[in-house]
Amino acid sequence: MILSSNNISSHSKTDLHVLWSLQVFAVVAGSLLVLVIGFILRESWPALSRLGLTRLFTDPGWFPTEHSYQLTPIIGGTMLAACGSILLAAPLGILSALFCHFYAPPLLGKWYRHMIELLAGIPSVVFGFWGLVVLVPLVASWHPPGPSLLAGILILTLMILPTIMLITHSSIAQVPSAYIHSATALGLSRWAVIWHIVLPVSRIGMLTGVFLGLARALGETMAILMVCGNVVQLPSHLFDPIRTLTANIALEMAYALGHHRSVLFMSGLVLMGLVLCFVSVAEALRHKANHAIAK
């Protein structure tokens, strides 16, 4: 910061070169987002201008060879999988963060946290592979066919749980211990302290985690591609196979041409919009939480 050009009286030639080259790098990095959005827009433009957004909902179905591009079942499947996994992962993640802080013996709590960090580091393709080899047959033995919405929800739950758990964990750690001590001194039981003090005080942090988890669940590709069965349909129950936006792109990009390809880019645009919405909500919440702490 001290180096900003007006602070230094002597502008040697090399210094200017350094500043210019750094500026070039910064401009490249800063314009990357514009480039990404621009290219996705450019590629989806034929579909956007010729077909329009409405056809994504009014066409008879998803038959790219017959130029019929209805995305409703795919968007529905995406939403169902993401919402289902958040419904499972949010309580599990919050409970396990509470476990580390209030229930576990210190050493076990530390191990458990490390385990969750390891879980966060497992690549999605490995989750997908394990889901395909272990989870899908398990679901099939309960209720065929196996590759299903349920399998997708379960795998996604495992994948977004670390996000929710780790963020909740750190926001609980920020609850002043004085609150916990004085609540305990009032004769509140462990759960009463959690319910009345810890959860309300750290709720913004928890919400941040939930929204980031939701964003991650929506954007997840590989695991869901491998365990969900990829049938384009609105599922009537948990054991029906589904196809998500991400899986649709991954499956059909390889051979898509013309309008089909353009529609796939458009669905990528829709997906990016959805994910960025949730990420910005999470960022706004994080901002709010930081302000609350600073106050």
Site for other proteins in 177-236 (CB under 8 A): 178-194, 196-197, 200-201, 215, 218-222, 225-226
State which of residues 57, 103, 143, 258 lies at the interface with other proteins (CB under 8 A): 103
Query: Is there binding between residue 96 and other proteins (CB under 8 A)?
Result: yes
- Return the number of the residue (32 or 53) whose C-beta is nearest other proteins: 32
Query: Is there binding between residue 276 and other proteins (CB under 8 A)?
Result: yes
Query: Is there binding between residue 107 and other proteins (CB under 8 A)?
Result: no
In the complex, minimum distance from the CB of residue 179 to other proteins, in angstroms, rounded to a whole number: 6
State which of residues 84, 229, 265, 289 lies at the interface with other proteins (CB under 8 A): 265
Q: What are phi and psi of 65, to 5 degrees?
A: -65, -25
| Under 8 Å between Cβ of 64 and 176 | no
d(CA 284, CA 278): 10
Query: Is there binding between residue 48 and other proteins (CB under 8 A)?
Result: no
Q: Is 167 left (phi over 0), alpha (psi -120 to 50) or beta?
A: alpha
Residue that the structure tokens 């393709």 belong to:
125
- In three-state secondary structure terms, 234 is coil
Contacts of 182 (CB under 8 A, 6+ apart): none
In the complex, minimum distance from the CB of residue 109 to other proteins, in angstroms, rounded to a whole number: 9
Query: Is there binding between residue 50 and other proteins (CB under 8 A)?
Result: no
Enter the DSSP assignment of 5: G
Residues numbered 10-39 forming contacts with other proteins, rule: CB under 8 A: 10, 12, 14-15, 17-19, 21-26, 28-36, 39
In the complex, minimum distance from the CB of residue 15 to other proteins, in angstroms, rounded to a whole number: 4
| Under 8 Å between Cβ of 248 and 261 | no
Omega within 30 of 0 (cis) for the link into 145: yes
State which of residues 160, 228, 264, 289 lies at the interface with other proteins (CB under 8 A): 264
d(CA 261, CA 8): 53
Query: Is there binding between residue 79 and other proteins (CB under 8 A)?
Result: no
Query: Is there binding between residue 254 and other proteins (CB under 8 A)?
Result: yes
d(CA 213, CA 85): 9
Residues numbered 110-169 forming contacts with other proteins, rule: CB under 8 A: 112, 115-116, 118-119, 121-130, 132-134, 158, 161
